[in-house]
Amino acid sequence: MVILGIDPAIRTTGYGVIRTESAARFEILDCGIIANSARLPHTECLRRLAGGIRELVGAFTPDYASIEDPFVGRNASTAIILGMARGAILTALAEASVPVYAYSPSSAKRAAFGSGKATKEQVAMMVSAETGIGIERIPLDATDAIALAICHAQKLLHSGLCAAGAGIGKAL
């Protein structure tokens, strides 16, 4: 099973693509960021985000996607911009009929690595140790995305559910 994890942002969206058949072992197929310059208008950033997700879906044909649940902060403008980024990403996934599940960052880190308060650096070190890939190949902005993908795999494989997903996360 292939899972695409996504940590959305308008300027730096992290992604991680994993393959797993067992709850105890996974392989990272790819991880990185979809970067947008601060000089680009939001409309161009959204186009690039959707295009980047389409490319990842085309390259890896994920069975599922796992995305970070939105949080509501004090800055309404930031929340709206994050909502736009999530919308572009969710649209690209829906066009490809990829089922999407949402998890909070702390839930993903707890399920994947045992601590919901793990830092990006700690997640990168754990992923490197688990997979044998060099830590320098894991961008920090991709660590939450990798944790989201691993979390969804853990939930699916532990529950024995690989279909509609009742009880495994919030389906979007």
Question: Is the CB of residue 98 less than 8 Å from the CB of residue 62?
Answer: yes
Query: How many CB atoms sit inside 10 A of residue 101's CB?
Result: 21
Catalytic, out of 21, 63, 136, 141: 141
Question: Is the CB of residue 16 less than 8 Å from the CB of residue 9?
Answer: no
Catalytic, out of 7, 21, 44, 63: 7
Please tell me the distance from the alpha carbon of residue 67 to that of residue 24, in angstroms, as a whole number. 21
**Is 7 in the active site?**
yes
**Is 121 in the active site?**
no
**Is 141 in the active site?**
yes
Q: What is the CA radius of gyration of the chain?
A: 15
Catalytic, out of 27, 68, 95, 121: 68
The catalytic residue positions are 7, 68, 141
